[in-house]
Structure 1
Amino acid sequence: MYELTQTQREVLLALIKLYEQNNRLVKSIEIAQQIGKDEGTVRNIISSLRSLGLLESKTGPSGGYMPTLKAKELIKSYGIVTYGSLRIKKNGNETNVTAYSIEIMDVLNPAGAKAILKANGNLDELKEGDIIRLGPTDYNRLLIDGEIQHIDRSTGQIAILIKRLVSIPRENVGEVATKNLVTLTSQMPLREASSLLFREKIRGAPVIENERIVGIITTTDIAKAYSEGNVKAKVEDYMRKHVVTIREDEDIMDAVRIMELHGVGRLIVVNAVGEPKGIVTRTDILKRISALGT
């Protein structure tokens, strides 16, 4: 268990509260305003929290920070309780409807369990018969797929018939990841890289130089090179230099959230000092959640 300084606690708690209130990535300036400290100081604290695996970040105009499950558990261990909420998804896309309470009923009913959601937001986005997804929830780790049976817009309650109820196991990424990591070099010809990926039946691999990750290339990148007629190109010509990684001691739920955050289907797994130790894909995780793998 980490022993955080008072300032680290303040920054982390502010991040969690802002993230849960707004359901989006949080800017450092917002945290600074929340706790009344200089933004430069907040950025330094954020850097230390990131090294501890307590938050994830995304760069760019729409970027910011989000807490990991480890962060929420740590804050909880200090006796600080936070309350979360979840955006309801319809057809794989987030709606503007947020559920803040779930009551599951009739779990032994052979006709199917039901749930009552208390929600706010634009309920007009939903209608009876819609198939929605909710979760996974942070602490009990439930993911629910259900069919809307009734919407009471006056009270913000939604009744659903549960089609699928999954409890995501508590496992570290390192327990799920593929350990025999296939790697490429930046000077390798794309044709050779393509043959290696095909032979290993994988869709992407990291590019390593001097035991350091310098990029990642996928079959999509190689297909782009071929479509442009660059059949003699090297890996470095088409590899992506921004590589999304995750520590091997992080939770698999964090892996899912990071994949969604960055729009990727695989993460390079590293140890505490950033050395590559494996790769985890969305498929690897779904295999552990058998109800989602069908």
Structure 2
Amino acid sequence: MGYLNRLQERILEGIIDLSKIYDRPVKSDEVASYLGIHPGSVRNAISALKVLGLIESRRGPYGGYTPTEKALIVFTKRDYLSAALMTLGGRPSRISTTITLCLTGRSLTMELRNLWKRLYWRRGRRIIVKLGRYVVDGLVLESDRVGRRVVVFVKRVVRVRKPITCEKGVSVRNLLALMTGRSVECALLVRSGRVDGYASLYYLLKLISSGLDPDTPVEHVFKPIPRSERLLNFLKIGYCRF
């Protein structure tokens, strides 16, 4: 699959977003209004996306465009580089810009060429990759000896949002109401201007289902901040299901 230009990428993301909001096929005029783009430009980009098999159309009064399974996430070459750097924890000089990632369904394939540093990704190792606005969390299925081609089984794909910060004394009940209202998965506990703990929406709901009193102060249930700088970076962008 070839690379998309910036306009095609924006329009594809707009179709994906509107399809989730309306739960139906969306029309080109709706996409144009949502993104603030001329309708003619939207129709031209949609034609290219249909050829690539990323969207499909439906005729009739209730017709429109819907993303295909192949179009779960598509990113530009620039995003590929940042994604690989987040995964490898290296500097731009350590790898070349010849990087390809393709995420379809439950499989993420990473192709890295001209590596300066050898990588050893064992089967079953967990990998968390930031791809644009999304975070992919999965396990390595296949990897060659130098890590230039890695296939990952995708467990979760999350569109991250800025985490909520709270202070000591806030109840779990109030924090859950705030997180669900803003569709945020991550909350950070701040003390004296410093991040001192974190919790995910999934973790808090699990505690409630286990019998935790919803009026318990959050500082009694928050997890300590991980020592790994890489994991801390994921917390700051809003992904915290560790």
Q: TM-score range by the shorter chain?
A: 0.3 to 0.5
Larger Rg computed on CA atoms: 1
> TM-score, with normalisation over the residues of structure 1?
0.28
> TM-score, with normalisation over the residues of structure 2?
0.33
